[in-house]
A and B are shown apart, each in its own frame.
Chain A
């Protein structure tokens, strides 16, 4: 147990003692390792341990949060007491006795990170390095990261909730740099999972991923600068889903909806996308990168259909923003660690399969950009304007994929782009991402089938 149950009860009571109507204790112990190699030589092997307690109190819309990494009961009680002083009300809320729920039974790891010797982790990195470096002589540099993370959490609240869970994440990042005639281009891959090391050792082929990183770098080295202008864009499956994540996912989070700061406010049940768009946020997919048994408020993760056939069906809502919205929480509350109060966040978010095929979409496009691999991006939730980078792109000419192009970025508006999706393929895939927002940086999956947007602004260096 991360903290004695009796102490947790005392903390909750102290929290409620001056009129707060909700109290929550979040305890976390996280062990992680980050290994980094350059040109096959291991440069960093950093292990770290995080431990802390976060206490959150609320009364109606007002929230107070405090955290410490002291384990001393007196320090913790003082924190709860200090926080409770933000409230003054004779009407006290009674605490419901803690009802301990079963430890989260899903999303387990077979080979736990702490059982894997560092030498085995390093050997895996060397294997990936060799495949990436040997791929072609223009590969000048390969940088590899191996990350694992074991997060133990305990979440209890004044409504009787009491859950514990261990969450595992493993990920390898392979970045190849190709150089020729003074020009450098990069290619990267980053497979990861909410499993243990069985994923990296047995389920994926890190050598194939190494080659893939180098292939992208070389393709981009030989690419021309992307032209700019407004054109149809075919966005490939997998990480292409970052477009929905940025442009539509963030504005559907209660974090912005509750404060009337989202373009999707007051749109529930109305049409917000073209008929062929169905989008889902599902935190229950077994062992997925963004999955968990419980959200960071201790409620079961859920599958949320956000948009169905173009109609807005659900927001992603945490408990306290739910109060402002007069709506039930959807198990969407997440945080990087105890240093952040939780709020509504995405888990594994994707646009569902459509009825076209990949070939049909390309063949149907006379001229445009094929964004095979996207990089990161960002969105302004206040008006929905977004941008993201194309890491691997090709021109489409007369229904065929033509020459590679580099340096492209896509800009648009989230509310508009959903109407402009006119073809969706049947090849849904997902990819790993790290999502940054008010409650920190969290693992989030993105995904989609290949789809076409009829027009989007493409920024490139070649001019119009």
Chain B
């Protein structure tokens, strides 16, 4: 392993003003079941070291998976070479630390680690069986279980030393269902670090019903429809646009939220939160990768843009405090959440006169422009007339602009769902959007 004191000493001798190491160690377990048998089994461990150093007031960076005292000179030299070519005006800051770091409860659950692998495999096999028994139109099933343990050590030459240990697990279920005329798929992921949270029956039922109900799905005629987004489809949209909240993007002039602080950017029903202390989220953290204490904050409060997400550099530029969102050299939310509203789902559905309940959107990495806010995405779901689901819909696109859509939200559901995008969302109803179909 690495002698960090020695690294800091060599760095100082070579002219590095301040230095920080970020050591991440993780282990991984993953099991996949196909046709009732263990198809894949994976175990892994991984350690990586990222070193940041300030040289001539510029920040140099090097990361490596080969970690040994013999490489200290090479690490320091590479950091210096990196700093030497930087000519941006950004400040290079190594942080001295905050007075207080809020403890995040339950980040590491030892019961999960201790639970026998055989038990985990048994649960998956049971799930596989339940999928197959659910309906004879179920043709193909894949289930998998993944578990990770991650430890972080952050230490710098300003005397800051922080540690974090977390574990997480998730179960993935996917099915293909088919009848004489059509073939559809169902997919979902449940994330938790408490094995008791897994409700296999519920997961199987939701995934399979979703697939079965979409058999025979067809495009609808192209026109404007009322749109009801499921929590998952809304989270997909937010994942495509989450970078617009980054102060980095704002300062670079590539965020559509530039100049909009304190302004109305969405319907007053819209509340967007970054909650770094969310329970059972493996992303939850009491400090960011720069050593800044994380905080709970509203990004959008009653439709008004409340704050951007900052790291040390962007905060200094704007004359504010970092919001504790400096991760991986950039900026991101820890746990983004769109707060649930008041309307039960049944009422939302009942209020739709001529619309589409969108359960799934695809292609958000390509069909959404985070700079302009425009998107046009493949969608699937159900055609709704007078409050009732009429038929399944597929191969349509729903198009709009992210901010216009937020302003057009007229109902927010009272239940939210933590999705595999790491974003928690309720269902929302949008006044009207353009749908392209047949």
Residues of A within 8 A of B (CB): 29, 35, 37-38, 41-52, 61-71, 79, 82-83, 86, 118-119, 122, 140-141, 143, 177, 179, 183-186, 226, 228-230, 259-261, 263, 339, 341, 375-378, 380, 382-383, 385-389, 406-409, 411-413, 457-464
Contact = CB atoms under 8 A, between A and B. Distances in A.
A375 to B, nearest CB: 5
B56 to A, nearest CB: 13
B363 interface: yes
Interface in B186-241: 219, 221-224
Interface centre among B65, B86, B185, by most chain A C-beta atoms within 10 angstroms, is B65
Nearest to B86: A42
Given A49-B63, A68-B46, A461-B401, 20 more contacts: A42-B87, A45-B86, A46-B82, A48-B64, A49-B64, A66-B44, A70-B45, A86-B41, A186-B371, A226-B376, A228-B397, A229-B436, A377-B366, A387-B378, A389-B376, A408-B376, A457-B438, A463-B434, A464-B222, A464-B223
A82 B87 contact: no
Interface residues of B, number: 77
8 contacts: A46-B329, A64-B42, A229-B436, A385-B394, A389-B367, A457-B437, A460-B436, A461-B376
Contacts of B89: 41
B22 to A, nearest CB: 13
Interface in B373-431: 374-378, 380, 394-401
Given A42-B86, A48-B64, A409-B363, A461 B399 contact: yes
Main SS at interface, chain A: strand
Interface in B35-49: 37-48
Tell me the interface secondary structure of chain B in the complex: strand
A63 B39 contact: yes
A461 B65 contact: no
Given A383-B183, A457-B437, A119 B85 contact: yes
Nearest to B29: A66
Contacts of A412: 395
Given A382-B176, A383-B184, A457-B219, A63 B41 contact: yes
A20 to B, nearest CB: 12
Nearest to B434: A463
A174 to B, nearest CB: 14
B17 interface: no
Given A52-B65, A377-B363, A464-B436, A62 B44 contact: no
A133 to B, nearest CB: 13
B39 A61 contact: yes
B66 interface: yes
A68 B67 CA distance: 13
B395 A413 contact: yes
B359 to A, nearest CB: 13
A87 to B, nearest CB: 10
B60 interface: yes
B47 to A, nearest CB: 6
Given A122-B85, A457-B219, A460-B436, A68 B45 contact: yes
A46 B61 contact: yes
B185 A461 contact: no
B139 interface: yes
A118 B223 CA distance: 53
A105 B376 CA distance: 45
B39 A460 contact: no
